[in-house]
Amino acid sequence: MKALIFEQFGGPEVLQYKEMPDPMIHGDQILVRTKAIGLNFADVYRRKGNYHLAGKPPYILGYEGAGIVESVPKHIQHIQIGDRIAFADVPFANAELVAVPVDRAIPLPVDISFEHAAGLLLQGMTAHYLVNDSYRVQAGDEVLIHAAAGGVGQLLIQLCKRKGAKVIGLTSSEAKKQVALDAGADEVILYSTDWVQEVLQWSNGKNGVQVAYDSVGSTLMDSFAAVRIKGTVVFYGMAGGDPEPVDPRMLMDTSKTLTGGDLWNHVTSLDNRIKRAHDLFGALREGNLNMDMLTTFSLKDGAEAHRLLESRQSVGKILLIP
């Protein structure tokens, strides 16, 4: 099989498109021929050496994709050769063939494209647990979303609007502001403004929003200032740096809630994966999720895809096509 590999840490130039041995499937694994693969910042961090990698080089990146089942052990009866499968949290996905554990193999309906599935699962399930588990968004809620033009940010906007909430987003540029507005945000403001005051002015009664979704980290205390008494801040990322320590006395005095979020604490079983994925697929069918902005690269051009992702100039999801 062909795969996108690297043998030393570094920039996109370390990536190579090479012939590699086909993966061997063991135990409860199936072999999937990939049709589309999602690219994520985690792939960049692993390529740079920021994340620990087990084993020895050559390394194969990738954790998310979709394709067709090519081989199934005899003891697995519910999956057949030719079935359409999507997966997340499966290593070595930057390849034509991937060994997928059965407990991570999500059946892909025929009306959902491989590209949409590969572009949706990781970021989509993240947005899904944030609006359903970390804080259950209700109709009429006022919601603040950081990095609203990012992949998760755009999906958060759409899932919140699907629930009947009002959304105000934060972005770093006018171009990204338009992206967040196109995703359905009711209002979008720039980080360069006095955004806490603008959020307060925008909110009903000028008391602040019910919930702030903060993936920036360094903005955490400002997020607290932007939510109302008894409001909630959901902290799920540190793209802008480490947050300041939170004084629990402030939480007591304001009755505000701080909660953290990590996808793999919420997606803990195959049934859970399937339920969340199929809810997202349903939102696609209903037109409540827009995934028109997919940028595709051939897998052999993976270095160029990494360069675009690192430039932070891309809008929407980047896919690698074997």
Q: Alpha carbon 169 to chain centroid distance?
A: 17
Integer angstrom CA distances of residue 187 from 32, 62, 171, 177, 261 = 42, 35, 11, 9, 25
Cβ proximity of 4 and 63 under 8 Å: no
The one-character DSSP state at 255 is T
Sign of CA dihedral 268, 223, 184, 200: positive
Please name which of 300, 304, 306 lies closest in space to residue 45, comparing C-alpha atoms: 306
Note the pLDDT of residue 261. 86
- Give me the domains of the chain, ranges plus CATH numbers: 2-108+292-321 (3.90.180.10), 134-260 (3.40.50.720)
Q: Which residues pair with 209 in a beta bridge?
A: 227
- Stated pTM of the model: 0.92
In 3-state terms the chain splits into helix, strand, coil percentages (rounded to 5) of 35, 25, 40
The DSSP annotation for 39-99 comes to --HHHHHHHHT-S---S-SSEE---EEEEEEEE--TT--S--TT-EEEEES-S--SBSEEE
Query: Looking at residue 224, what is its pLDDT?
Result: 98
The pLDDT of residue 203 = 96
For every one of its 322 residues, what pLDDT tens digit does the chain have, with 9 covering 90 and above?
A: 999 999 999 999 999 999 999 999 999 999 999 999 999 988 998 999 877 777 888 999 999 999 999 999 999 999 999 999 999 999 999 999 999 999 999 999 999 999 999 999 999 999 999 999 999 999 999 999 999 998 899 999 999 999 999 999 999 999 999 999 999 999 999 999 999 999 999 999 899 999 999 999 999 999 999 999 999 999 998 888 888 999 999 999 999 999 998 898 999 999 999 999 999 999 999 988 988 778 999 999 999 999 998 887 777 789 999 9
Alpha-carbon distances, residue 135 vs 53, 120, 128, 130, 149 (angstroms): 33, 21, 10, 6, 21
CA separation for the pair 59, 3 (Å, rounded): 10
